[in-house]
Amino acid sequence: MQEQSKSLGVALIGTGFMGRCHALAWRSVAAVFGGPHPRLEYLCDDTAEKAASFAAQFGFARGTTDWQAAINDPLVDVVSITTPNGLHRPMAEAALRAGKHVWLEKPMALTLSDAQAMADLAAQHPGQVTILGYNYTRSPAFQAAVQMIRRGDIGQPHSFRGVYDEDYCADPALPWTWRMTQENGGLGALGDLGVHLVSHMLPLMGDVTEVTGMTHIAIPKRRSDDGDKPVENEDSAIALLRFASGAQGQFSTSRVARGRKCRLQWEVHGTLGTLVFDQENMNELWVHRNGEAGFTRHLTGPDQPDFAAFCPAPGHNFGFNEQKVIEARDLCRTIQGGTPCSPDFAEGLKIEKIVHAVATSGGRPVQIEEEAA
């Protein structure tokens, strides 16, 4: 990362799993990639006790429950938003209107209309950088696969098969939560998991023009302190896709797949070869080339993008949080005038259009409209 003229002031809203990931990334980005260390100005949470405790733990100057005040403070340049889904739009829009850069966790929004409004507002603030938290796209193995396709190593891609399965909702005894409502959670497996699969699919295959999907609620009711409550969003979804190139695709995602922990897995079939990746084995990319008997395992190493910044030796495993540090680097680099980071809100809208088309298809083809140039 090139030297910046000044360090960036950061406000982090939310201290759950992804809030911790953002905090670690902000603390590590300068140590790994160079440049001035970000100024950790505000840690925001829903109680003063939690805000103060996590601010001290992560090294933020102050804790607060007032996220609006943190966003509007002149000390803050960048706002990291890792809150529940229903708060994404109001917080991101407030940050943009306050003149701040935005690092927002996925999913982008509860509804497609929300995502459209956010993308429209971001377009009205071209001097402010937006990035969505699709950290799996920072995997060196995935980046190597994208490069191989662009070089033509497997010829012309003609077919995509992808799944993202986990089992965090597989137990019928699991209590009801806000994630299972449309009002606060939005989409279910599609919004939590499927969007990650789409974030891989688009750089590998290009734009999607048509989707035919089906969704399923495997466990219709969950227990709560107020009695059984209905599950309103999908536990699983499947889809057939058509890409602008003419290629075809298969897509599925589930939050009730017993035994699956982070199975973000895909294959790309090309005219000269095949690529295979699985996030549960994220340091491996399997490659078949025309004329070979089978597949060759390629281990991640310093010859692949960004790996060497963390470790000089091949085969020494890369990890989840390293991906988040790269995401922070990409954001900082764009703010200082470098390569645009991805996906921004405009690209995030493409992802939302695809998963919402799956959700609303009901087995009928849905055309994906392209944005006007």
φ and ψ of 199, to 5 deg: -65, -25
Domain boundaries, given as residue ranges, for the chain:
9-134, 136-316+344-367
Q: Is 339 buried (19+), middle (13-18) or exposed (0-12) by CB count in 10 A? A: exposed
Look-up of token digits 């969950």: 222
Q: Which CATH code for domain 136-316+344-367? A: 3.30.360.10
User: Which amino acid type is present at position 41?
Assistant: E
CA distance 238 to 194: 10
**Residue 343: left if φ>0, alpha if ψ -120 to 50, beta else—which one?**
beta
pLDDT given at position 369: 82
pLDDT given at position 332: 97
Cβ neighbours, 10 Å, residue 178: 11
CATH class assigned to 9-134: alpha beta
Q: What are 265's two structure tokens?
A: 């897995």
Asked whether 309 and 318 are in contact (CB, 8 A), the reply is no
Name residue 42's beta-bridge partners: 11, 62
Question: For 159, what's the count of Cα atoms within 13 Å in the CB-facing half-sphere?
Answer: 9
Ranges of beta strands (E only) in 72-114 are 78-81, 101-104
Query: What is the full DSSP assignment across 217-234?
Result: -SS-EE--TTS-EE--S-
Q: CA 169 → CA 76, 180, 189, distances in Å?
A: 37, 10, 10
φ and ψ of 222, to 5 deg: -130, 150
What would the pLDDT profile of 96-131 be if each residue is shown by its tens digit? Answer: 999 999 999 999 999 999 999 999 999 999 999 999
What would the pLDDT profile of 286-324 be if each residue is shown by its tens digit? Answer: 999 999 999 999 999 999 889 999 999 998 999 999 999
CA distance 287 to 302: 18
Ranges of beta strands (E only) in the chain are 9-13, 39-44, 62-64, 78-81, 101-104, 130-132, 157-165, 208-216, 221-222, 229-230, 236-243, 248-254, 263-270, 273-278, 284-289, 296-299, 365-367
Topology match between the domains 9-134 and 136-316+344-367:
no
pLDDT given at position 5: 58
Q: What are 178's two structure tokens?
A: 């806000």
Q: Low-confidence residues of the chain, pLDDT below 50?
A: 1-4, 373
What would the pLDDT profile of 323-337 be if each residue is shown by its tens digit? Answer: 999 999 999 999 999
φ and ψ of 347, to 5 deg: -70, -35
pLDDT given at position 213: 98
Question: For 103, what's the count of Cα atoms within 13 Å in the CB-facing half-sphere?
Answer: 35
pLDDT given at position 373: 42
Mean of the per-residue pLDDT values for the chain? 96
3-state secondary structure of 172: coil
Asked whether 205 and 243 are in contact (CB, 8 A), the reply is yes
User: Which amino acid type is present at position 61?
Assistant: A
CA 319-325-326 angle, to 5 degrees, is 95
Asked whether 257 and 165 are in contact (CB, 8 A), the reply is yes
The DSSP bridge pattern shows strands 101-104 and 39-44 to be: unpaired
**Displacement of CA 39 from its chain's centroid (Å):** 24
pLDDT given at position 370: 73
C-alpha dihedral (21, 330, 208, 105), degrees to nearest 10: 30
